[in-house]
Amino acid sequence: TEPAPASAAPAPAEKKPELVSEPLVTNIYTADPSAHVFNGKIYVYPSHDIESGVPQNDNGDHFDMKDFHVLSMDSVGGEVKDNGEAINIKDIPWAGRQLWAPDAAEKNGKYYLYFPVKDKQDIFHIGVGVSDSPVGPFKAEPTPIEGSFSIDPAVFKDSDGSHYMYFGGIWGGQLQRWATGTYNPADTYPENDKPALSPKVAKLKDNMLSFSEKPRDLQIVDKDGKPLTNGDNSRRFFEASWMHKYNGKYYFSYSTGDTHNIAYAIGDNPYGPFTYQGVVLEPVLGWTNHHSIVEFQGKWYLFYHDSSLSGGQTHLRSVKVAELHYNPDGTIQTLSAFKK
């Protein structure tokens, strides 16, 4: 055979964008950042991690958060303001324990903070608080959103002004206890070769305080249209739903939990089905991986967290931001948290 011409040298390994990023704030621990642009500013709605002394377990009891602080900034890389306490668990009448990952939305000059918290029977539901300001204080509604369950609400505003809530999380997030449609304290997972448990989606009513429909399953399928299976741990949904729209397509992104990736899938409408594409963010320092994706001044950003500020303590995390890049075909370039 002929020797290969010099110009046919092996292609260099795909160069991933480097992720070198500092915590947005260091005065408190923050996690699960949901970023939005309201009135030309970026507002980040994170969990507020604390050390409450509860021992670590697979249910996530050590994530024992009690309030939220909203962060704001005029530019990425500019000063980040911690706007102080926006709501406290003691002011949520139905709450028991564990304020987990929140999100927020704006409509007609009112701001809505959506949050999962366990009720007094230790069952997760999703609540909402209302404010005239994006940074609160938020006044909690007296009861959870009717028909809500599990964790990690993400509220997406579509181009026609409709709002949809995406939610759910397995293991400590209790989604598996709702597999039959009603709460069953025994964990029930599908067989490994059966479709994985689906995240949920429900359109919100105009009042932003309730669902306008029974939550539907959001299907994530492979390139052949087959649902991802329960045993497909490196790709199946675990928690941390997020929705964004790019060039008219709907991008559903989420954490794969025990395999620690932020993955994404693309669909043609807010309900799906969504076809699995790949990984947005590889595992970070710490067990959890949770993110949001937002466009600001013509650039796209990934807000995420890791545990670097606490030296790796999994329940003491810090929110960070990195620019996100798309390929010409609309796929997302994978970000790697650790330099290779």
What's the token pair of residue 268? 């043609």
Considering only CA atoms, which of 65, 121, 107 is closest in space to residue 316? Answer: 65
* Catalytic (active site) residue 295: no
Residue 152 interacts with ligand FUB (CB under 6 A): yes or no: yes
Name which position in 32, 82, 103, 306 contacts ligand FUB (CB under 6 A): 32
Catalytic site includes residue 258: no
- The C-alpha atoms of residue 114 and residue 83 are separated, in whole angstroms, by 17
Q: Are strands 220-221 and 274-281 parallel, antiparallel or unpaired?
A: parallel
d(CA 29, CA 310): 8
- Residue in 18, 32, 61, 306 annotated catalytic: 32
Would you count residue 290 as binding ligand FUB (CB under 6 A)? yes
Whether 164 contacts 203, CB under 8 Å: yes
**Shortest distance, CB of residue 191 to ligand FUB, whole angstroms?**
25
Residues 175-234 contacting ligand FUB, CB under 6 A:
none
Helix (H, G, I), strand (E, B) or coil at 172: helix
* Nearest to ligand FUB of 32, 106 (CB atom): 32
Q: In whole angstroms, how close is the CB of 69 to ligand FUB at the nearest point?
A: 14
Q: How far apart are CA 276 and CA 223, in angstroms?
A: 7
The residues in 60-99 that bind ligand FUB, with binding defined as CB under 6 A, are 63
174 contributes a contact to ligand FUB by CB under 6 A: no
Q: Is 163 in the site for ligand FUB (CB under 6 A)?
A: no
Q: Min. distance of Cβ 331 from ligand FUB in angstroms?
A: 24
In whole angstroms, give the CA distance from residue 340 to residue 334. 13
The residue count for binding ligand FUB (CB under 6 A) is 13
Query: Phi and psi (nearest 5°) for 89?
Result: -60, -30
Q: How far is the CB of 131 from ligand FUB (least distance, A)?
A: 22
Decide if 19 contacts 277 (C-beta within 8 A): no
Residues with catalytic roles: 32, 239
The residues of the shown chain that bind ligand FUB, judged by CB under 6 A, are 31-32, 47, 63, 100-101, 151-152, 169, 239-240, 288, 290
